[in-house]
Amino acid sequence: MNHRTLAIIAAFFATLIYGLNHTIAKEVMPTYVQPFGFIFLRVSGAALLFWAIAPFAPKQKIDRGDWWRILVCSIAGMVINMLAFFKGLQLSTPINSAVLVTITPIIVVVLSAFFIKEKITLSKGFGVLLGLIGAVTLILFGAESRIDAPNIPLGNFLFIVNATFYGTYLILVKKLIEKYHPFVLLKWLFTIAVIINFPISFSEVTAIEWSVLPVHIIGAIFFVILGTTFGTYLLNAFALTQLKASTIGAFVYLQPLIGVLFALFTGKDQLSGIKITAMGLVLLGVYLASKRPKPGA
């Protein structure tokens, strides 16, 4: 099996884990663990795991000029991105999160035009518009009365914040991945994230009552640490070494499908006309925004 095939498999499993995470993480919050406290468990657990496997990576010293980019990547991808997503998941629903996080490719298109002056074609521009209409539709009209979703509009808005900063992370981290081994890079990214997240999340970590956590909740916490954090970042880092970002971006279409089906199967969420309409607009927008222009176009 060649490296490209392995990279495609890695990208698929990362997407599968992300799709399941919407429902699994939601079950933990806020009854057992508050969102910011959960994030500290994520980043600290992942940091320990990456330090544990670091000896298997080649010896690499980070160039002084790269530390600023590593710092910004950590803040965007392991601090603001994660805090916004888990807080949004506490306030909103699994299906809403599965739909709205898929606008990341649209955000990447917009940010690429801003940061690296990449041209936005008419098709891409229309895709961005459709995706944003879908997102705004879900934010403004997707509210429903649910005890476990106390502020759906705010939660949905935080999913947009999450997608924006994750998109920023993907753009900035690409050069670092091309230069450093994934074990080396992710070790430092998560270590910095632990330091920054600590004062933000400390009070919620100390509030966790470990002795009364049910077994399935402990299992869900380990799934988020080992799978959604350590596993997906490692899988995507490997995939980026073999595949173009646009190829990996195509897997984003699977995430809402997996997330929605799993939420429905477990009875943790339900579909509505607004959700279906918004999902259709977002996915069509992502397709148009991610579509590569024909040569000469």
184-189 average pLDDT score: 94
Q: Predicted confidence band at 294 (pLDDT cuts at 50, 70, 90)? A: low
- Centre a 10 Å sphere on the Cβ of residue 66 and count the other Cβ atoms it contains: 16
Residue predicted with more confidence, 238 or 197: 197
Enter the tokens of residue 171: 């753009």
pLDDT at 49: 95
Dihedral sign computed on CA atoms, order 119, 123, 127, 133: positive
191: Cβ–Cβ under 8 A, 6 or more apart, which residues? 47, 51
Q: Where are the domains of the chain?
A: 3-290
Mean pLDDT, residues 58-77 taken together: 94
User: Tens of pLDDT along 90-114?
Assistant: 998 888 888 887 777 777 777 777 7
- Quick one: which of 98, 238, 100 has its CA closest to 161? 100
Question: Which pLDDT tens digit goes with each residue over 135-165?
Answer: 777 766 666 656 677 888 899 899 989 988 9
Nearest to 128 by CA among 86, 163, 173, 88: 163
Q: Which of 115-119, 248-252, 255-259 has the highest mean pLDDT?
A: 255-259
Tell me the C-alpha distance between 229 and 17, whole Å.
10
CB 82 within 8 A of CB 39: yes
List of E strands, the chain: none
Residue 144's region, left for phi above 0, alpha for psi from -120 to 50, else beta, is: beta
Alpha carbon of 55 to those of 52, 61, 81, 184, 288: distances in Å?
A: 7, 13, 28, 9, 43
